[in-house]
Amino acid sequence: MRPSPHRAPGLLLVLLALAAQAPAEKTPALWPWPSSVKVSPKLLNIAAENFLIVHGPNSTAGPSCPLLQEAFRRYYNYIFGFHKRLHGPANFQDGAQLDQLQVSITLQSQCDFFPTLSSDESYSLLVQEPVAFLKANRVWGALRGLETFSQLVYQDSYGAFTINESSITDLPRFAHRGILIDTSRHYLPMKTIFKTLDAMAFNKFNVLHWHVVDDQSFPYQSTAFPELSNKGSYSLSHVYTPSDVHMVLEYARLRGIRVIPEFDTPGHTQSWGKGQKNLLTPCYSERKQIEKVGPINPTLNTTYTFFKTFFKEISSVFPDEYIHLGGDEVDFECWSSNPKIQNFMKKKGFGNDFTKLESFYIKKILDIIKSLKKGSIVWQEVFDDKVELQPDTVVEVWKGENYLEELREVTSSGYKAILSAPWYLDIISYGQDWRQYYIVDPLNFQGSEKKKQQLVIGGEACLWGEFVDATNLIPRLWPRASAVGERLWSPATVTDLDNAYSRLVTHRCRMVSRGIAAQPLFTGHCDREHKMEE
C-alpha cells in the first residue's frame, strides 16, 4: 500500500514543501480561469474504479440526455482513461474520498438543441466529501463545468488522483469565442477538424468559424450545385460531403460548439468560377481582351438566382442562426476594366465609386440571408465601405493596428462586433507570442459600458491556411489560441502574465496528454503522466 498523506502528518509537511517548490504540479491549473474560485487545503482522493459521474436526483436532464451521457463518458476518460492504462487500477483508498460528481440541470433540458449565441454557459461547482455537485441551468453550462472539474483533478507524487475541496462559480465574459479554420488554402481532413473541436472544448471556445471555400479551392459539396466542388476542389477526395458536414456539426454540438460557415463573396471566389458559369466578372486587359476572371459579377440577375438557391441550401444544412458572408478585399480593378460593368454603373448613377457597386451587391445578398431567417456576419470592409447593413448584422474587425478605433466606430453605429485583428495566429514569430494575444482587452476603447457589453459579442483566433495543413495545424493553434480563449472567457481582471504562464504550461501538457499535439511554450518537460499517447 502506498503511504497516505492524511495518515502521516510528517509526510504531509514534506509534500507541502514539494508543493511550494513546484506549484504548477501541485495546484490545479485551471484554464481559462473561472470568475470565482475558492480552493480549500482539504484534499480528497478519487479512485477511478469507484468514481461516478451521474445525473443529480433533481436534474431536468435525466439519463435520456445523450449529450450529457456522452460528456460523462468523455470526461471520465480524460480524467482516468490514459492514466489507468499507464499505472493499472489504483488500490489507494485511504483518507477522504470523492465518490461522485452529480450533475444537475435546473431548467428544462436542451439535449437535442444546437447551441446559440445566447446559450447559457454558466455553472457552479461544489467539490466536497463525498459528493461533488455541478449545477447549470442548461446542458451547455454542464459541459463547461465538466471541463473545469476535470482540470481540478491531478495526480500526486504517488500517482493517486486527488482533488482539493473547492467551490467555483463561472460564466463567460463574451458569448462568441471562436476559432477560424480555413479549408480552402489547404484541405483539412476530418480528423484534424475533430481534434480542433476537442481542443476548443478544453479551452471553452464555442464557435467554429469555418472558412470553407476561397479562391484556391471549393471543398464544400453542394447538393444543389455539385459542379462547384466537382470542378473547384483540389481533387474529388478533397471535398466535404453532406455526411462529412453533418458529422462536424454533431461533433461540435456535443461539445457545445456552434459551427458558422463562411461563404466569402464577392471577392475570394476564383474557385467558384470553375463549376458555375457566368458567376465571375471577366476582367479586361489594356488591349480590351478578356484575360482572367475577377469577383462575382454583381450586374447579372442570374447571380442572384444562383445565390438564392445556394444560400437556401446552406441555411438548411447549417443549423446556426448566423452565416458569415465575408465581403473582404474586393478587387475593384477587375470591375472597372469591364465595359458592361461600367455601363451598369452609369445606369445606376454610381459614378466611378465601386464601393457603391459593392454595396449594391452585398445588400442583395444580405436580403437573401434575411429572407432565409438567418443573421449575417461580414468582414469590416463591408462596414467601412458604408454598405447598408441589416440592423442585426455582425461586423468582424480584422484589420491592423487601429482595431480598437474600428470597434468604437462599429459599436457607436449600433452594430454588433467580433474582434479578430490582434489574433491572427497564422502570423508566427520567434518566442512566446501568446503573451501579446493575452494582453489584449477588446473593450479598451472609448464608449459607453452598456454599449460595449451589448455590442462587442466576442472574438476569434484565426488560423488562415496558406502555410497550414493537417501536419501543423494543431501545434500552430495550441496553446497559442488558449491565450485568446482565456481572454474571451475570464473576467477582465485576470491579467497576470506570470500566473497565466504557470497555468498555461500545465494546461498545455494536459492537452498533450489528451491527444492534442500542442507545442511547448518554452524549455522544460511535461510530467510522465502528461506525455502524448501513441
Burial, 408: exposed, middle or buried (Cβ in 10 Å; 0-12, 13-18, 19+)? Answer: middle
Determine the residue type at 151: Q
Cβ distance to ligand NAG smaller for residue 340 or 528: 340
CB of 78 to ligand NAG, least distance (A): 20
Asked about 358 being catalytic, the answer comes back as: no
The DSSP result for 183-251, as a single string, is TTTS---HHHHHHHHHHHHHTT--EEEEE---SS---B--SS-THHHHHHSSSTTS-B-HHHHHHHHHH
Q: What is the DSSP letter of 493?
A: T
CB of 167 to ligand NAG, least distance (A): 12
Footprint of ligand NAG (CB under 6 A)? 16, 19, 27, 39, 41, 43, 56-58, 164, 301
The DSSP result for 307-349, as a single string, is HHHHHHHHHHHS-SSEEE----S--HHHHHH-HHHHHHHHHHT
CB of 486 to ligand NAG, least distance (A): 18
How many other β-carbons are positioned within 10 Å of the β-carbon of residue 3? 11
CB of 12 to ligand NAG, least distance (A): 7
d(CA 267, CA 184): 14
Give the CA angle between residues 241, 242, 244 to the nearest 5°.
Answer: 65
CB of 444 to ligand NAG, least distance (A): 30
d(CA 399, CA 55): 46
Check 227, 329, 333, 533 and give the catalytic one.
329
Cβ distance to ligand NAG smaller for residue 55 or 185: 55
d(CA 260, CA 207): 7
CB of 39 to ligand NAG, least distance (A): 4
Please list, in sequence order, all residues whose beta carbon lies within 8 angstroms of the beta carbon of residue 84, skipping any fewer than 6 positions away.
Answer: 48
Cβ distance to ligand NAG smaller for residue 4 or 27: 27
CB–CB of 437/450 below 8 Å?
no
Residues facing residue 460 across a β-bridge? 178
Cβ distance to ligand NAG smaller for residue 57 or 88: 57
Indicate which residues carry an active-site annotation.
329
